[in-house]
Amino acid sequence: MERLHFSWLQLGLLLPLLGAIWTRTRRDPIVARRHGLIVSGLTLGCMIGAWIDFRLIAAPEARDLWDPLSSLWGRELLAIDGLNAPLLAMGSLVYYLTILSTLRAKAGEFSISWTLLSESVLLATFAAATPWGVVTMMSLGALPPYAELLRRKRPSRVYLAHMGLFVVLLILGEYGVSRAGTHAEQALVPILLLTLATLLRSGVAPVHCWMTDLFEHATFGRALLFVTPMVGAYGVARLVLPIAPDWALEVISLMSLFTAIYAAGMALVQREARRFFCYLFLSHSSLVLVGIETATPIGLTGSLSLWLSASLSLTGFGLALRCVEARVGRSLMTEFQGLYEHIPMMAGLFLLAGLATIGFPGTAGFVGLELLVNAAARALPFVGISIVIVAALNGLAVIQAYFRIFAGPPRSSSIDLRIRPSERIAILIISALILGGGLYPRAGVRDRHEAAVRLLQARAGGEAPSPPEHQPIAKFTNAPGSP
């Protein structure tokens, strides 16, 4: 395996880990937020550095220059490839933006220490070189929200029941898969367990209620950070896609499609903003799964593109909602908040991010959705039409939410509701990325296509980027160029 020019991955994982310990010792939450922001910014720099470095060496897979962790453990623990390189940067960006847009008044409620810890776990999940590494980190990743629910004395049984089941299924599934030597020996049950685990983590209906419950009880920032990087989809791509038979993928695809439609409909009837956001997110993350499970180069390319754009734009959308909530409390979607006059820039971001999520032309989501619809229509026409319907329903939901939050008689307030400089910076970063990705999508799509082809090669028995232990299935019916 090629080596990067620097130990970006380990440094990027170590920084938030040390930052979590450091900020834990800070008594003043405002100081902890400031230090956390610096750590998160450095982590983002490391992950962008890793991505650029990986592109420069032009290898299918690479690891750090100095790798003491692997030497200690006796096997490779971290690796970067076409799939996870942009996800690492995107994941760290989501954390950076969330900390950046956290108002100082809210710093006490939102634990920076736990945030940095969960960032480290998320990046380790994405960078894990082995399936067991992915499984371990995905399981550990479920802890920070649970800890927050306990700390805030909020109901946690729904979350615990679902995540407990997720961890059990994941471990049992991976244990069964790793015991089988080759694909021919793969039993159906372990694959099924792994599939169920990743679908549960993705919030596919009917096992999605943990997500709405988390949005009900956790802080908005914590819930946002737990869901927007779409770790469940990563589990599907890394653990399930290489070994699942075609029929299983089709079943998963149909379940995801049903979730996308169901969640789009549910988003339209929600009376409260957090729940609305949760369903909107579910609808989009399910579309990403639909694309992954088409197992065709174009579908997977669309899905991976949509993954990045939806993560980014839904983060922007969610952060805008969080900023609104920080000003006026939890918002109802049944009344007009009249916030446009106070925070027009936030209204602009909300609209732009919302439009990007529905694949509006000129935004980052457009090409991903086009590719996805195209691929789905090639596979099964009704799936393509269903995705178009989902996009239309989500479009209605986004505009409805925009009007409910920003339209109405200007809200009178005794405090200054105007946008803060840190929020302005976050808005500008997200807007630039959404528009930049939308106006110049070519490089991004090409990059995602390469990653998609490699994933499918791994599934077909070609050169497998990771996970190395899984013996891929031999059949590859959706080679590039095939119908």
- Interactions with another protein, residue window 348-377 (CB under 8 A): 348, 355, 360-362, 367, 370-371, 373-374, 377
Smallest distance from the beta carbon of 220 to another protein, in angstroms?
12
Bridge partners for 2 per DSSP: 62
Q: Is 1 in the site for another protein (CB under 8 A)?
A: no
What's 112-143 look like in SS3? Answer: HHHHHHHHHHHHHHHHECCHHHHHHHHHHHCH
**Which CB, 27 or 157, lies closer to another protein?**
157
Smallest distance from the beta carbon of 367 to another protein, in angstroms?
5
Residues that bind another protein (rule: CB under 8 A) add up to a total of 74
User: Which residues in the 295-324 window bind another protein by CB under 8 A?
Assistant: 297-298, 301
Smallest distance from the beta carbon of 388 to another protein, in angstroms?
5
Dist. CA 6–CA 65, nearest whole Å = 5
Q: Is 339 in the site for another protein (CB under 8 A)?
A: no
Token output for 459: 């599934």
User: Which residues in the 261-300 window bind another protein by CB under 8 A?
Assistant: 262, 265-266, 268-272, 274-275, 297-298
Smallest distance from the beta carbon of 159 to another protein, in angstroms?
9
Cα-to-chain-centroid distance, residue 153: 27
**Which CB, 110 or 262, lies closer to another protein?**
262
User: Which residues in the 20-59 window bind another protein by CB under 8 A?
Assistant: none
Cα distances (Å, whole numbers) of residue 47 to 8, 13, 53: 7, 9, 10
Smallest distance from the beta carbon of 60 to another protein, in angstroms?
18
Smallest distance from the beta carbon of 78 to another protein, in angstroms?
30
Among 385, 425, 462, 475, binds another protein (CB under 8 A): 385
Dist. CA 399–CA 453, nearest whole Å = 36
Residue span binding another protein (CB under 8 A) among the ranges 47-55, 123-131, 250-258, 330-338: 330-338
Question: For residue 287, how many other CB atoms are within 10 A of its CB?
Answer: 33
Contact 312, 90 (CB under 8 A): yes
**Which CB, 449 or 454, lies closer to another protein?**
449
Q: Is 327 in the site for another protein (CB under 8 A)?
A: no
In terms of C-beta density within 10 A (0-12 exposed, 13-18 middle, 19 or more buried), how is residue 218 classed? buried
Smallest distance from the beta carbon of 222 to another protein, in angstroms?
14
Smallest distance from the beta carbon of 437 to another protein, in angstroms?
11
User: Which residues in the 107-166 window bind another protein by CB under 8 A?
Assistant: 155, 157-158, 161
In terms of C-beta density within 10 A (0-12 exposed, 13-18 middle, 19 or more buried), how is residue 411 classed? middle
CA dihedral 65, 68, 74, 75 (to 10 degrees): -40
Max Cα–Cα distance, the chain, nearest Å: 69
**Which CB, 234 or 262, lies closer to another protein?**
262
CA-closest candidate to residue 216, choices 157, 132, 136: 157
Report residue 6: phi and psi, to 5°: -160, 165
Cα-to-chain-centroid distance, residue 184: 32
Dist. CA 129–CA 78, nearest whole Å = 5
Q: Is 389 in the site for another protein (CB under 8 A)?
A: yes
User: Which residues in the 425-464 window bind another protein by CB under 8 A?
Assistant: 428, 431, 441-442, 445-446, 449
Smallest distance from the beta carbon of 223 to another protein, in angstroms?
12
Smallest distance from the beta carbon of 200 to another protein, in angstroms?
14
**Which CB, 122 or 298, lies closer to another protein?**
298
CB neighbours of 199 closer than 8 A, spacing ≥ 6? 207, 232, 236, 252, 255, 256, 289
Q: Is 334 in the site for another protein (CB under 8 A)?
A: yes
Question: For residue 30, how many other CB atoms are within 10 A of its CB?
Answer: 13
User: Which residues in the 180-209 window bind another protein by CB under 8 A?
Assistant: 209
Dist. CA 323–CA 28, nearest whole Å = 22
Smallest distance from the beta carbon of 396 to another protein, in angstroms?
6
Q: Is 409 in the site for another protein (CB under 8 A)?
A: yes
Q: Is 388 in the site for another protein (CB under 8 A)?
A: yes
Residue span binding another protein (CB under 8 A) among the ranges 30-38, 111-119, 396-404, 460-468: 396-404
Handedness of CA 101, 37, 65, 132 (dihedral sign): negative
Q: Is 345 in the site for another protein (CB under 8 A)?
A: yes
Q: Is 380 in the site for another protein (CB under 8 A)?
A: no
**Which CB, 45 or 362, lies closer to another protein?**
362
With residue 61 as reference, give the H or E element that holds it.
Answer: strand 61-63
User: Which residues in the 224-263 window bind another protein by CB under 8 A?
Assistant: 262
**Which CB, 389 or 474, lies closer to another protein?**
389
**Which CB, 40 or 294, lies closer to another protein?**
294
Report residue 428: phi and psi, to 5°: -65, -40
